[in-house]
Amino acid sequence: MSSKLNITVMLGGPSAEREVSLRTGAAVASALRSRGHTVHELDPKGPGQWTLPVGTEVVFLALHGTYGEDGTVQRELEAMRVPYTGCDPEASRLAFDKVLTKQKCVACGAPTAKFMTFQSADAQWPDGWQTPVVLKPVRQGSSVGLQFVDSPAEFPAKLAEALKFDTGVLMEERIIGRETTVGILAGRALPVVEVRPKQGSYDYKNKYTAGATEYFCPADFDATTTARIQDAAYAAFNAIGGRDYARVDVMVRANGEPIVLEVNTLPGMTETSLLPKAAAAGGLSYAELCEMMVDLAVRRGTQPH
């Protein structure tokens, strides 16, 4: 990117992931300033409760969770005809809803775990299911509200807990294996990152506590398994209609079979986040990655719709 731009970074916002978003946005703003751009930071309180700084040429979305990642802010920016980073409103809406994502994966043949959904805390343990399973609020990110169920007796209390975070809860077979994530950037899958929590699972606490989790990139898989993981991630990204970039979480069974968990359309972008780690393994510095995301948005913004 040759020209210097007037960029607004949208960060913070009203979701449960506000603190993470503030960290992401601050890191992105600093990186873009280091490349010579004029950068404003905007913390939107919610739909319609903000105005873009005068002269904004492109918006970098550093929001996470409800409002920022579910297609709402994307629709607002579309109405303003301002280019912005990442996926469009429909892909954002689909990816933020774990059930819709899984339905799209099933339809296009991307491998995903067996699942069902619940809307009521009075639901009974379903026939034909074995533990362990995972319960996830349908529309939350960053492992917010995640519950592990190791016996049917735990199910009622854990379902009630997960329902505190959304009106719907996804239950899926818990995949035992290695946990990986794959960054997608500008039409290609980046090197695979393996995530190994030192204790327990990769939950909100282990995700955001320094030193609680080890990361390996590129992950230590043979070439065939690596390609299978990347192909599964890319298939899920295409299933939701993704564009520019995203991060896809994939479990890998002991036999090398990849199982897609979910697609993150606005992944964390602190310097220690997983997409920047994968980009670094692919030869891109953090500042170059941020600038590339902006560049993809600007180039798209100049094309007629």
HSE (side-chain half, CA atoms, 13 Å) at 86? 33
| Owner of token pair 């606005």 | 266
Q: Using alpha carbons, select from 56, 33, 185, 139 the residue that is nearest to residue 25.
A: 33
Strands (E), 141-268: 147-149, 169-173, 178-185, 188-189, 193-197, 213-216, 245-252, 258-264
Strand, helix or coil at 250?
strand
Q: Residues 6 or more apart from 160 whose CB is under 8 A from it? A: 121
**What residues are labeled active site?**
17, 142, 208, 247, 249, 262, 264, 268
How far apart, in whole angstroms, are the C-alpha atoms of residue 77 and residue 13?
15
φ and ψ of 108, to 5 deg: -105, 5
How far apart, in whole angstroms, are the C-alpha atoms of residue 189 and residue 247?
9
SS (H, E, C) 105-146: HHHHCCCECCEEEECCCCCCCCCCCCCCEEEEECCCCCCCCC
Cβ contact 258:177 at 8 Å? no
Q: Residues 6 or more apart from 44 whose CB is under 8 A from it? A: 10, 12, 13, 14, 50, 63, 67, 73
Q: Using alpha carbons, select from 68, 54, 60 the residue that is nearest to residue 16.
A: 68
